[in-house]
Structure 1
């Protein structure tokens, strides 16, 4: 169903926060009306925000499903390449063309927001509003995840203290605590010190909330009943005989579900141009599966003509997990993929420029140099191949920056042409939906061509492939590794899980997002290396096996100049320094 596009001519560019603050929010009920959502499903949650009750969506069941589009990218530079802004701009562009479109995004973690990355609501004239609320607390979903996770941790220690059945082994507790902040001092702790009434002394620690298996469960559950079942399957540790102990056996799963009941409801917001935005769940892209929730996608697909969702980091990371974890869990089939690239990322992958996290880009990177774009093209070509490995040919979105040169955009088009891939420059940050019209039109044409030829989407590997071989398949086929080096005992552990009935699970490899390899210093499309897997974990509730490759932290630390040092508030209550 087409809708009438509104006048969206943007004013001259300003900084993200001032653009967001100057925007006029529509009543959230009007946004819900544009999607045709039933009134009983919309629960207003302050100005410009609503919760959507999945249990009140029965009236949408007869609608035809909308088109499902995933936005991923080449391997990013430290500042990122703008997948979120591209997804938002694309939806605004589709709306300008008269289509009912919605964007589905993850909720930002406050750890990166207050640390190095800053906010995660888009930029320029392709933002979701209200940006301050989204980046700081929103409707409290992340706090609910932390509360549910930490309730289980408290009940585990209580179980130990009272020596309840099944009797947990203190040395084999697998359930850490979580916090939604970057804090390296909490990674490794000794707990239970003091008197006998203070618990059983043992080693423990914290992970960031976005890395919690509870967060992964929230994103992959398709209903309240499914959420309850998955939470019951969470493995907290081993008993004295080496058998796994679950949250169900501890008696925590029911209360955890109660704490997460409201968090299961997706959050409805709006873009600067009043396109609907569903923001829900926030699993990390390099540690966890890096995609927003199945519940949000399903609601949007029943209500909109087009649903654009973003997968974290590159096509080898969040993109791979979208295809092989999220789509397996949901049963949904994507209609198209958009691969975001930038001139600066291609130059970076040439190896000729040094980019430091938190520091301004070097002047050499901003100078006109189409030859550097071509030199870094191996990464782009590999990520195109990674999308094609799942049966889809991506559209390449060139996210334009003010310092780009036409010769450099031409070089990207030339690279893509060698693979028979269409590339389109998008000016969505500068011009909003109008700047993304060409990309939106290219997407529609690509979907029409797919309809004519049949959707060729497929998973990278069959469910029955042994777990170790699934890890090897991802490493060799998508990362370009020569093979995998498993630490001692890991193959035996994977085989044990295979025999225990977990062999059909997909795998999630936690590694650096800065390289196709496990080593952030290996740029481009590195060859002649092997992937080291130092640890594997069974995420029985989420429904995947989790492999840690290289030096990857599940609780980040702050850098020497975190974003929190620049955030303040004025006398009128306006936030300063959030970007």
Structure 2
């Protein structure tokens, strides 16, 4: 479709699908402006070059970076350049929507539609994942109550169950709970925990599964605890895998929506790169690769979290590799990493900006390790000065790094044309010799060495330490077959260290691992560092206080600055 007849406003979802070459017979329409894409669309013959563009960012600050806004703006800009582009983003979680950051559909004129639907119940994927997770939880406690044998194994030991429960909401009061109180018929009393749904292993499985068969096999491999005889017990042993797969039938299908300018957006699975793997689904990415020339996708939070996991976990599993890394930064965030307080980060401060550039430089060094061409996207705010923008441009030019300003928030795709041109040039230049995959660690490395390599290469740490509890976890996980799995780091997004209060580019630090969890179905080991919790809490003034249903049916307050 040429720019002369391409629409730059929302269109029928059937026409959005047609733009990607997805047949209407592969669509399942959900209300207005949303559709599921049947997995049969993945068998279509490839239509485009399928160049993957990974969008990540410097470590976030309260001053804001706008990674999703930049991703949406970039896709809009590429589309205005007559590129066939598929935007592949993660689904929003209700935890942030009602917690701190608000909705996850971009902002300003660089947003997805229907935004309210996507930020709330969408097509029900997160509810299905929550339900499948908790079905397994219920069947575990039922097996304990009746003392049933788990397949050929002894009954479950209630004291050694490792599978908790899930809820798609921030609720710190559920981090540690006691179950089964009351009468004998009310179950076996024991301690349990809730994780937010984004951190559920079921979420990771949906994001990494390649088919219904693969989905059921992965669900069956989930290790839920230990039998009275000491053997590991899985979801398949409990008999839950098939029913869980049935619950997830529709959730496995990618969701199709559109940008505010009518471009295709596949929004599916995978939020929370600080406590989960934080990438949208492999199926959505493959759908984009099949049907588009450019696939713009993002790794959650900073490049040290979602970016690293995209490369070391998702790309390894999917057999893909990005052509270009877009690294998002803002002047105000760089100033905060240079020591400026958040209340003054919007004010001109060249010295803080220069100091903060050292933080950006670390991420550029990490990108060089992975062999990825980089385009730094400066997400421009209205009060940014030309002098400070030029200062960053000159510093990047000295490093031979491409840079482009992005004003997608204020101007939509038109404001992202410079970024789109830089990204398109960098990606297309690699057609004859695409970047080769290079991982931070080998799967054959010892588990502790994998964690150490991530910490040294990606964070810039000197070393890692494992607590006594984590050492016990390591021995147990290795005995269960987890020695050769990738590692999913649970670490604060606010710092390269495991301490959220340390900004900039710290040196001479050690990353502390307090717990290791096996996610055998997802196919990785989760390493919890510092004080990271898999069930967040609400802030003193949660975003839910601003959300209101208006008389005309519109909802106000789901996005930041939408009061």
CA 176–500 in structure 1, closer or farther in 2 if over 3 Å, else same: closer
Among 230, 251, 260, the alignment partner of 1:242 is: 230
- Asked whether 1:153 is paired with 2:133, we answer no
Among 185, 193, 209, the alignment partner of 2:173 is: 185
Q: Which residue of 1 aligns with 2:423?
A: 443
Query: Which whole-Å deviations, capped at 9, do the CAs of 1:296-345 have from their partners, x for residues lacking one?
Result: 01011111111100110111100000000000111112111100010011
Q: Which residue of 2 aligns with 1:94?
A: 78
Give the Cα–Cα distance (whole angstroms) in 1 for the partners of residues 64 and 525 of structure 2.
Answer: 27
CA 216–283 in structure 1, closer or farther in 2 if over 3 Å, else same: farther
Give the Cα–Cα distance (whole angstroms) in 2 for the partners of residues 157 and 496 of structure 1.
Answer: 23
Shift of 1:186: 1.1
Among 460, 467, 476, the alignment partner of 2:447 is: 467
Count residues with an aligned counterpart: 555
Among 191, 195, 217, the alignment partner of 1:207 is: 195
Is the 8 Å Cα contact of residues 64 and 330 (structure 2) preserved in structure 1? no
- Asked whether 1:30 is paired with 2:43, we answer no
Shift of 1:102: 1.3
Among 94, 101, 112, the alignment partner of 2:96 is: 112
Among 37, 49, 55, the alignment partner of 1:52 is: 37
Give the Cα–Cα distance (whole angstroms) in 2 for the partners of residues 317 and 188 of structure 1.
Answer: 26
Give the Cα–Cα distance (whole angstroms) in 2 for the partners of residues 78 and 510 of structure 1.
Answer: 20
SS at match of 2:468: coil
User: TM-score, length-normalised on structure 1?
Assistant: 0.93
Question: Root-mean-square deviation (CA), in Å?
Answer: 1.5
Is the 8 Å Cα contact of residues 41 and 57 (structure 1) preserved in structure 2? no
147-156 or 419-428: bigger deviation: 419-428
CA 2–223 in structure 1, closer or farther in 2 if over 3 Å, else same: farther
Shift of 1:371: 2.1
SS at match of 1:242: coil
User: TM-score, length-normalised on structure 2?
Assistant: 0.96
Shift of 1:5: 5.9
Shift of 1:87: 0.8
265-274 or 381-390: bigger deviation: 381-390
SS at match of 2:352: helix
Q: Which residue of 2 aligns with 1:20?
A: none
Among 108, 117, 121, the alignment partner of 1:133 is: 117
Give the Cα–Cα distance (whole angstroms) in 1 for the partners of residues 203 and 444 of structure 2.
Answer: 26
Q: Which residue of 2 aligns with 1:419?
A: 399
Q: Which residue of 2 aligns with 1:394?
A: 374
Give the Cα–Cα distance (whole angstroms) in 1 for the partners of residues 462 and 41 of structure 2.
Answer: 50
Q: Which residue of 2 aligns with 1:323?
A: 311
Q: Which residue of 2 aligns with 1:269?
A: 257
Shift of 1:3: 6.3
Give the Cα–Cα distance (whole angstroms) in 1 for the partners of residues 557 and 479 of structure 2.
Answer: 53
Q: Which runs of 5 or more residues in structure 1 are unaligned?
A: 9-23, 356-361
Is the 8 Å Cα contact of residues 168 and 197 (structure 2) preserved in structure 1? yes
Q: Which residue of 2 aligns with 1:17?
A: none
Shift of 1:456: 3.5
Q: Which residue of 2 aligns with 1:195?
A: 183
Structure 2 counterparts to residues 294-443 of structure 1, below 5 A? 294-353=282-341, 355=342, 362=343, 364-443=344-423
Among 201, 222, 235, the alignment partner of 2:210 is: 222
Shift of 1:385: 1.2
Give the Cα–Cα distance (whole angstroms) in 2 for the partners of residues 117 and 146 of structure 1.
Answer: 22
CA 28–80 in structure 1, closer or farther in 2 if over 3 Å, else same: same
Is the 8 Å Cα contact of residues 3 and 100 (structure 1) preserved in structure 2? no
- Asked whether 1:550 is paired with 2:530, we answer yes
Give the Cα–Cα distance (whole angstroms) in 2 for the partners of residues 283 and 160 of structure 1.
Answer: 32
Is the 8 Å Cα contact of residues 327 and 376 (structure 2) preserved in structure 1? yes
Shift of 1:2: 6.1
SS at match of 2:492: coil
Q: Which residue of 1 aligns with 2:482?
A: 502
Shift of 1:457: 3.3
Q: Which runs of 5 or more residues in structure 2 are unaligned?
A: none
Structure 2 counterparts to residues 503-542 of structure 1, below 5 A? 503-542=483-522
Give the Cα–Cα distance (whole angstroms) in 2 for the partners of residues 253 and 315 of structure 1.
Answer: 34
Give the Cα–Cα distance (whole angstroms) in 1 for the partners of residues 231 and 218 of structure 2.
Answer: 19
Give the Cα–Cα distance (whole angstroms) in 2 for the partners of residues 46 and 4 of structure 1.
Answer: 30
Shift of 1:56: 4.1
Give the Cα–Cα distance (whole angstroms) in 2 for the partners of residues 471 and 75 of structure 1.
Answer: 19
